[in-house]
Each structure stands twice: as structure tokens, then as C-alpha cells.
Homo-oligomer: A and B are copies of this chain.
Amino acid sequence: MWYVDEERLEHIAIGAGILGTGGGGNPYYGKLHVRRLLREGARIPVVSLDEVPDDALVVSVGGMGAPTVGIERIHRGDEPLVALRALEEHLGRRATHLIPGEIGGANSTRPMAISAMTGLPVIDADGMGRAFPELQMDTFAIYGVSSTPAALADIYHNVVLFPRLADALTLERYARAVTVQMGGAAGYAFPAMSGAEAKRTAVPMTLSLAEAAGAAVRRARREHADPVAAVLRVTGGQVVFRGKVIDVQRRLVAGFARGVVELDGLGDDRGSRMRIDFQNENLIARRDGDVVVVVPDLICLVDAETAEPVTTEVVRYGLRVAVLGIPAPALLKTPQALAVVGPAAFGYPEIEYRPLPGIYGGDRLVGERDGTEPSWPRSG
């Protein structure tokens, strides 16, 4: 067990921004919220998956809504807590552990805020190992954890409960429609699962990975080393392009920010172009028309000098960026997972998923800790 302190919080926010792959919402406001709670004396314990009893009641909490709304609208911050309490009341049982639904972006910090309010430990794992635009795209749903019962709450503490729905995709549709009515942003609590289910389905060590990535970036900045290289060492990624943003097309479609970023090469990449398609998160990177990185592998834009993450909502003409390709966690690369988070699921049936070489940083941390070679571990 370890505790989140202010320094680790800073690191996690940087790392979560990078793992957000352009989306997932900005962790900045969540970070400020958690920092305030820490300064007020809150303690936020983090436990690893192995420390969770099989009969624990693990609940994922966070926020739902388009990132563009997240920027414009200040939340109260206790919406996920209201959702959690409604879910507990429905279950007739209290949660024992919290888990992030996605480590990428704003949902990395929200479980910490709810931990500070409730005293519940946060599990060092999540349901994506990155960020994705839709809720059925988490490993909990992919590997058979029921998405319902589920609860949503808005800033006025209005609560909507989904006791039982056919599947995660139905929850995505119904919850998304309610979220739009809630002003575009809602706090959520779902799924509720046993400790055994969490151990079988969650992507392990991802809070640690975010923390390590953020710490490496800050150390490199402080020591005038290369922050981008530092990210690569921790995450297992590579730089697939360096260039300047020359065009951004962005539109809000059915609550999602969809669009395209075009880059003109710099340095070794001079004379080449890169085009990145996104839907909240970056999905496909093409170099001079050739596909080089494909979802679920992570495509992360970071500032070329500082490695500060550049999200799809703030990317703009003239920014000089490095495009990172980071191998996806093993749990996202099974046939079961690729059916839900592979290129076809995002509307690119013509693109084949060819995994980037290397090992996702979180999987590598598991291997380092338990002495095993990282492999494609558990499946549902």
C-alpha cells in the first residue's frame, strides 16, 4: 500500500495526461480538487490488485461527458460520490475499494477525490490502461463483468439508476443520453464487481505507471535531460514522428469530439506528413498515407521540448510536437478485446491492427515486481 501525496499527484496528472492519448478530459481540475483535499488532511491509500480480497466490493467511479464540456463546466466534484451512494443503497452493501475506469485523462484523479471523501482505498489498476471514448470499451465489460447496476448523478444531485440492462453498449447509449440532459457531464458509479473479478479483468499497475511517467518527465525537465525520452523509457513507447501542427479539423458529433490533426515533419521527419484521426482519443496515425499506429495502441501527442501532453481539445496550428506510439496493455490485444477496441470498432474495418513492438509499461511493471516475463495474461 502507498499513499497519494502532493508530489505523486502532480506526477500522476502528467502521466495520466499522456496516457489519455489526446482525450479522456484534462486531469488539471481533478488534480486541483484532490490537492485541496490533501491539504485539508485527507489520506488516499492505493493498494495493488493482489492486496484486494476476492470478496471485496470494487466500484469504478468517475465522470462521463465530452471533454469539450469538461473544460467549460466546473463540477462540484462530489457527483461520483452521490452516484456511488445510490449504487450502494441499491445493492444493499457498501463498497470496499474504488478503481479508476480509465487511467488516461480526468478519470485518473476522480477516484482519488472520492477516496479522500470516503476513506476507501483506490486500486492501482484501471479498465483501459489508457482512455477510450465509450464505456463498453473497458476491460471490465470486455471480460464479462456486468455493467449494471450502474448509477449517474448530476451537479444538483439528481440520480439515475440502471438496475439491469442488456449489455454495456445499451448502458453507453442510455447513460450518454442522460448525461447530455445533465448538461453534458455526470458523475458515475459502475461497474460494481468482486475483488476476484477486478483481479481477472483490470489492467494492472496503471496508477504506478502514470506516476512513474510523470516523475520521469519532471526529473528530466529538472535535470535538463530529454523529457520525451524519459516517457519512452517508462511506457515502452517510441517516437513515431516529430513535426509541427499545420491543420486541425474538429467537430462535436453526438457528444464526441471527432476530427483530424495534420502535422508537417521536422528534423529527421522533414518532408513527411502525419495525419491523425481522433474521436475524443487519437485512433489512427498515418505517415505519408501509410498506417503506422493503430488503436488500441496509444497515439500520444506531447510537446517536443517538455513532453507536456497535447490533447485533442487544445491542439492547434503551430505547436511542435512529438507523436508517441506506445504498445497497448496485453489485455487490450486479445481477439475479444480487439472486437471492441480495435480499428473496426471505431469505423475503420479496412485497417488491420498490427501491434507496435514492445511491452506496455504497466505490464512491464507487473513483470518487474513479480519476476515473471510479461505475457498475455488472464483472459475472460
Contact = CB atoms under 8 A, between A and B. Distances in A.
B159 A160 contact: no
A162 B165 contact: no
A78 to B, nearest CB: 15
Nearest to A173: B181
A161 B149 CA distance: 10
A164 interface: yes
A86 interface: yes
B166 A159 contact: no
A345 interface: no
Interface residues of A, number: 22
A170 interface: yes
A180 interface: yes
A177 B181 contact: yes
A260 interface: no
Interface string A137-175: 000000000000000000011111111111000100110
A163 B159 contact: yes
Interface of A: 86, 89-90, 156-166, 170, 173-174, 177-178, 180-182
Q: Which 9 A-B pairs have the closest CB atoms?
A: A161-B161, A177-B177, A158-B165, A177-B181, A173-B181, A159-B163, A174-B181, A156-B166, A161-B163
